Structures are given as C-alpha cells and as structure tokens.
Amino acid sequence: MIKIISYLPKISNSFGMIAIFIMILVTVVGVVGRMIGKPVLGNVELVQIMLLVLIMTTLSYAQSEDRHIKIGLIVDRLPKKAQFCLDIFNYVATFLYCLIVAYAFVLETDREMNVTMKSTLVLGVPLYILKIVVVIGFVLWAIESINRIIQRYKSFSRDEYNKEVKG
C-alpha cells in the first residue's frame, strides 16, 4: 500500500507535464493562428484550465520531493527531536488543511452540479469539472502528507536506533 502511495505523486506529476505540454501547444497554435489572420477561439481559456490542472496535479509531487517553501533558518538549529516534532506538526497541519479545502470544494462541486450549473465563457466547460480537479489535487496532497509522516517517522526511528546501537 505504501508503495502505491509513493507512486501517486509521480503519476500526478505526469498529468502536470501533460498539462504543460498542452499549454505550450495551444499557445503556439494561438500565436500562429493570429499571425496568419485566423485567431483560435478559446485558446486563452484552455491555457487557464491547463494551468489549474498543472498546479493541482503537482502539489503532491512538490510535497513528496520536499520542494515546498520552508524556513529552515531556525528549525535547522534545533535538536533532532524538536525538528521531528515540528515536521510531524507541519505534515498533520497540511493534511488537515488539504482535507478542509477538499471538503469545501466537494460541497461547492455538488452545488455547481445541481444548482448553479455555470460553465466557462468561451468553451462552455462546466465549472464543476474544474472544482473536481481541485478536489483531486488536494486529496492527493493530503495522501502525500500522510506518506511523509510515515516516512519521517521511519527515518527518525532508524536514526534513534542507530544512535542507541553506536552510543
């Protein structure tokens, strides 16, 4: 199960890379279309949608690679146990935040599907689809936060064991 969870960020990052490729392709087609006098409708909207997909699908990957913004100036000087506690607190807080945002967007998706039924202006993409993308992104990030807690606990336990054996 842990191995499957460890692959999720890599899989979601692949979707982000596909989104970036589509963004580049649509931008090139839009520019070429304007140059030859045949502008493409909806290219800006499609790039914006792909940007949302890119951001949401790469959140968990950034967490898995510890690429999120961190302030290590003070924390790096603390004892290892304090660093461990702060890391766990950070991952738990991230997990809870992701669940809250995902839940809020699930409620909003339901409202969008059943009440307002709005769509994008040019392409007519239903907005609930975009909200589902946000839910998926935050759920994947929450799962990765749990994975980081497990990984951090394992590495801390291993370090403590090695410290006792050597000491």
pLDDT at residue 18 greater than cutoff 90: yes
Asked whether 53 and 133 are in contact (CB, 8 A), the reply is yes
Predicted local confidence at residue 43, as pLDDT? 92
Would you report the helix, strand and coil content of the chain in percent, each value rounded to 5? 80, 0, 15
> In the numeric block, which tokens belong to residue 145?
């936060």
pLDDT tens string 102-111: 999 999 999 9
- Across the strands, what pairs with 71? none
What's the CA angle centered on 10, arms 8 and 12, to 5 degrees?
Answer: 65
Cβ neighbour number for residue 38 with a 10 Å cutoff: 8
pLDDT tens string 111-131: 999 998 899 999 999 999 999
Predicted local confidence at residue 91, as pLDDT? 93
- Across the strands, what pairs with 119? 126
- Ranges of each domain in the chain: 1-165
In terms of Cβ atoms closer than 10 Å to its own Cβ (0-12, 13-18, 19+), residue 116 is: exposed
